[in-house]
Every structure is written in structure tokens, then in C-alpha cells.
Amino acid sequence: MSVNAAYLGLILIWSTTPLAIKWSGDGPGFLFAVMARMLIGALVCLVILALMRKRLVWHKKAIYTYLSASLGIFGSMLCVYWGAQHIPSGLVSVLFGLTPLLTSVFAALILKDDRLGGNQLVGIALAISGLIVIFYTDIATSHFAIKGIIAVIIATTLHSLSTVMVKKTGTDLPGIVVSTGALLISSLLFLTTWLLGNNQIPDILPIKALGSIFYLGLVGTVVGFTLFYYALNNMKASSIGLIPLITPVLALIFGYLFNSEEIGWTLLAGAGLILSGLFAHNWHTFLNRFR
């Protein structure tokens, strides 16, 4: 597979994931949907691991890495699945576009190897302005919509923190090993949460929900992780950081076309400010890539 094909595939998967998340919970409920997705992903990863003749390791650094990655899977996904019930899928993608900004903040605080520059501070300020605009749009007029926005922001924060924590371990474990270990732990946590919560297996699964669960389990989780690590190993990490500039726009279009989600001017204004913040944050990357 060419690197460009993997890169485009990753963009498409990340752009369609928010809408699939929303559809997967329509009928079976968000807890069953996310639990089923992670169980499917974990089982497929175990099969792939066996076919590649690799094995999970359980030394101290490996366990810490799995747990750190699980924070970004269990903690983040639990919040985003709940939040996606109450806000449009396009807005979920826009809010998740904050990941590079939050990651840079945690990297500066935890890794202490990269200070925030002027362009990054400008980017953060623009993103905060965009959030303020979104909070005061007609999308956020309902009590549940505001809670949904907050839940996705928490999910984005946990995902960014998890990324930096995994980076801090400095482990040289293959990506498929890290993914499998983290998915096993996350699947057990999701199963426990489901058993403690609404632990009823749906009598009927709508075709759209069932298809979305399998799409997320196989494509969104397994293929997405595989393409991510493949692209990361063959191109600069900064180039991967440009994807959140593209996926929110596509996700808004997909939500409008396939889920009849309204795109108001105030939402566009807020999204524009957040994307402008991401552009400012990645200004040097753009210069280097297109110079």
C-alpha cells in the first residue's frame, strides 16, 4: 500500500467515524454499541497478532503503556459515545479537532521537551474563541446539548493526555501489540460498565446500528489503527497532525448529506475559528510541507 493511499484512507475513516458512532447507538444504546465495537476490535487484533506471530508482553513498561493507551480508548470513547447522542456528528468531529492543540499543551507540561511558541498560543486562543461561539449557538440551547459538548471536550482531553502518556513511556513495542493490549483492557472495562449499567442485550438491532457497530469495530478500530501506525512509520508525525484540519469539514458534510444535520452560520463561525486555530498551531508544518 502506498503512503498516500494510507493517508487518504485514514482521513476517510476519521471523517466517517462520528456519524457511525451516532448511528451505532440508535436502538441498542450507546453502552452496548461501544462495548460491542471494542470487543470486535480486540478479537480481530488478537487474530492479527497470532497471524503475525507476535505476542503480548507484560513487563512493567508494557503494562503502563497499555493502561496509558486505555485512557484514550475507554475514557475518551465512553464520553464521546454519550455526548454523540445529544449533538450533531459533525460537531463531534469539530471538537475532536482540538486534539493537536491539547496534545501540545500536555506535551509541554509532561514531556517538558517542547515549549509552546507564539503561533501555538495564538492557535489555542482562536480555538477557545470558537468554543465560546459554539456554546452560544442554537445547537447549545438545550440542557443536553451543552452536556454533550462538554462530554466530547472531556473525551478530546483524555485522548490527548493518553497520547502524551504513551509517548512518555518511550516503549518500542509494535503498534499492533500496543493496540491489542489496550483494547483488551478497554474491552474488559466497557463490559464491566455495561454489566453495572444497562446490561440488557437488545432484542432487535436496527440494520443501520448493526452495520455501524461492525464498521467501527473492523474499519474504525482495526483498519484505522493499522493505517495510522503505517502512515506514522512512513511519514512525519507533523503530517498526521494536519488530518484534523480536513476531517471536521468532511464530517460536517457527511452529517448534512446522510443524517440531515443542520449547519448554521454560528456553527460554521465557531468551526472556522477552531480550524483557524489549528492552522495557526501547525503553521510551520504547512510551510515545510508545501515549500
Q: What per-residue confidence (pLDDT) applies to 239?
A: 63
DSSP 21-46: HHHHTTTT-HHHHHHHHHHHHHHHHH
69, 178 contact by CB (below 8 A): yes
Q: Rounded distance, CA 239 to CA 227, Å? A: 14
Is 279 within 8 Å of 286 (Cβ atoms)?
A: yes
Q: What is the pLDDT of residue 19?
A: 94
Report in angstroms the alpha-carbon separations of 164 from 29, 106, 226: 31, 7, 19
Residue ranges of the chain with per-residue pLDDT less than 50: 290
Q: Which residue has the cell 504547512?
A: 286
Domain count, the chain: 1
pLDDT given for residue 290 in this prediction? 47
> What is the chain's alpha carbon radius of gyration, rounded to the nearest angstrom?
18
Euclidean distance between CA atoms 272 and 253, whole angstroms: 14
Q: CA 258, CA 62: separation in Å to the nearest integer?
A: 41
Residues of the domain holding 162: 3-290
What is the pLDDT, as a whole number, of residue 179? 86
Over residues 233-289, the pLDDT tens digits come to 666 555 666 677 788 888 988 999 999 888 877 778 888 888 887 777 766 655 555
Residue with cell 470558537: 130
List the grid coordinates of 14: 476519521
The pLDDT, as a whole number, for residue 237 is 54
Q: What is the pLDDT of residue 115?
A: 67
